[in-house]
């Protein structure tokens, strides 16, 4: 697809950009441009077309107040990163996996399918346009946020006939801020994230909106993230507010909740599983309950717990707070297996470890 270009006459200066890149944090700063492709439904089902692919200056979106995304939340998104290698080249990680997941989310949210090549081209376009924004620091990258919104102005509840796909980019360091260290997690007892037949496996804004009250509760209790249990009341571990969860066991296995349709199919999650299998580790995707977590930490059968996601990379979990109960140790150092898988994954992404699976794509 050809993208037309309307470049910003108001780009940040080299000094302003350098100030941001010196300490990018997560999600607070944005590059100078955005990529947009619009979609309109055809007169017959299945004849909708993507059109007007373009690069625009980054800025507010003019939208009709009746646009259905504002009322019914018909929206999906993705998250992936662009990494700068030592020779200056810029790469991304498994973009076709994100493209495929975007289309699964689109199908669930009654949004149109986007050709995988258009998705990857849109990443190439924003990175090429804002290449100077790709950080060079250790553990830093340019976070890419593709998203799709229903822009048609109407108040009836039905799938929109006008949609917009966009990509914005934000230089990113550690998601949790500062140096990497084990985080505390709060168990949500009052709120579930997803139900049977719901949108739990889709990457849609509504899932994250529904997690926010529990995330607030977590923060009030001194925790960085919230853990959701399944909504069928048997206390099976699902995922955190914005990331998947893994356990390392004494016998060297890796355990993670199985994909049941209510859990996000993380690209980092599947990469971690592959890297662990490459090391000869036994990987179990299965149900793990809060009781098993508690008992196995107490008996020493679970030795490490970590969270993973594009934004979080791999972040060690120190303690799980279940009301007054503490499971794990707030002050425990990051686990060895956790850190070693993290280093390997980051190494592949940064081009310092062999990319055995062909996961990198040059932008």
Q: What contacts 343, CB < 8 A, 6 or more positions away?
A: none
- Our finding on whether 310 is near ligand COI (CB under 6 A) is yes
Cβ(347)–Cβ(76) below 8 Å: no
Structure tokens given for 101: 């997941």
User: Is residue 309 near ligand COI by the rule CB under 6 A?
Assistant: yes
Q: At what angle do helices 95-108 and 116-129 cross, to 10 degrees?
A: 120
Q: Mask: binding to ligand COI, 50-79, rule CB under 6 A, as x and -?
A: -----------------------------x
Q: Are the C-beta atoms of residues 345 and 360 closer than 8 Å to each other? A: no
Choice between 79 and 316, CB closer to ligand COI: 79
Which CB atom, from 48 or from 139, has the smaller least distance to ligand COI?
A: 139
Binding of residue 182 to ligand COI (CB under 6 A)? no
Q: Which of residues 242-271 bind ligand COI (CB under 6 A)?
A: 242
Point out the residue whose Cβ comes nearest to ligand COI.
79
Out of 290, 311, 348, 360, the residue judged to bind ligand COI by CB under 6 A: 311
The whole-angstrom separation of Cα 356 and Cα 109 is 35
Work out the angle at residue 203's Cα, subtended by the Cα atoms of residues 201 and 205, and round it to the nearest 5 degrees.
125
Cβ(31)–Cβ(48) below 8 Å: no
Tell me the per-residue interface mask from 218 to 237 with ligand COI, x by CB under 6 A, - otherwise.
Answer: --------------------
Residue 98 lies near ligand COI (rule: CB under 6 A): no
Q: Copy the structure tokens of residue 94.
A: 């498994």
Half-sphere exposure of 268 (CA within 13 A, CB side): 25
* 105 vs 129 by CB, closer to ligand COI: 105
Of the candidates 12, 3, 120, the one whose C-alpha atom is nearest the C-alpha of residue 59 is 12
Q: How far is the CB of 231 from ligand COI (least distance, A)?
A: 20
Q: Is 184 in the site for ligand COI (CB under 6 A)?
A: no
Q: What residues line the site for ligand COI (CB under 6 A)?
A: 79, 208, 242, 309-311
């Amino acid at each position: 697809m050809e993208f037309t270009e309307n470049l910003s006459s108001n780009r940040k200066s080299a000094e302003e950009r350098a100030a941001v890149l010196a300490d990018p944090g997560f999600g607070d700063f944005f590059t100078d441009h955005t990529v947009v492709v619009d979609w309109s439904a055809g007169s017959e089902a299945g004849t909708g077309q993507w059109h007007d692919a373009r690069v625009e200056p980054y800025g507010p979106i003019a939208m009709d107040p009746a646009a259905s995304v504002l009322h019914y939340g018909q929206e999906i998104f993705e998250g992936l990163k662009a990494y700068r290698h030592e020779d200056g080249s810029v790469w991304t990680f498994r973009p076709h996996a994100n493209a495929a997941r975007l289309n699964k989310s689109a199908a669930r949210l009654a949004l149109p399918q986007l050709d995988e090549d258009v998705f990857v081209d849109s990443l190439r376009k924003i990175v090429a346009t804002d290449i100077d924004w790709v950080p060079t620091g250790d553990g830093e990258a340019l976070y890419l946020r593709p998203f799709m919104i229903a822009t048609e102005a109407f108040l009836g509840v039905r799938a929109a006939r006008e949609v917009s796909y966009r990509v914005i980019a934000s230089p990113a360091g550690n998601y949790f801020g500062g140096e990497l260290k084990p985080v505390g997690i709060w168990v949500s007892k009052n709120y579930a994230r997803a139900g049977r037949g719901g949108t739990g496996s889709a990457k849609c804004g509504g899932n994250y909106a529904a997690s926010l009250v529990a995330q607030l509760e977590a923060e009030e209790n001194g925790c960085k993230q919230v853990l959701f249990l399944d909504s069928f009341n048997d206390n099976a571990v699902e995922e955190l507010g914005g990331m998947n969860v893994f356990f390392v066991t004494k016998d060297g296995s890796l355990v993670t909740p199985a994909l049941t349709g209510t859990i996000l199919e993380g690209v980092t999650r599947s990469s971690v599983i592959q890297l662990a299998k490459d090391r000869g580790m036994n990987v179990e995707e299965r149900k793990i309950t809060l009781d098993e977590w508690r008992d196995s930490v107490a008996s020493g059968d679970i030795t490490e717990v970590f969270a993973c996601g594009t934004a979080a990379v791999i972040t060690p979990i120190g303690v799980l707070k279940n009301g007054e109960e503490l499971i794990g140790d707030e002050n425990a150092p990051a686990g060895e297996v956790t850190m070693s898988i993290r280093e390997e994954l980051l190494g592949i992404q940064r081009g310092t470890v062999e990319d055995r699976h062909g996961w990198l794509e040059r932008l």
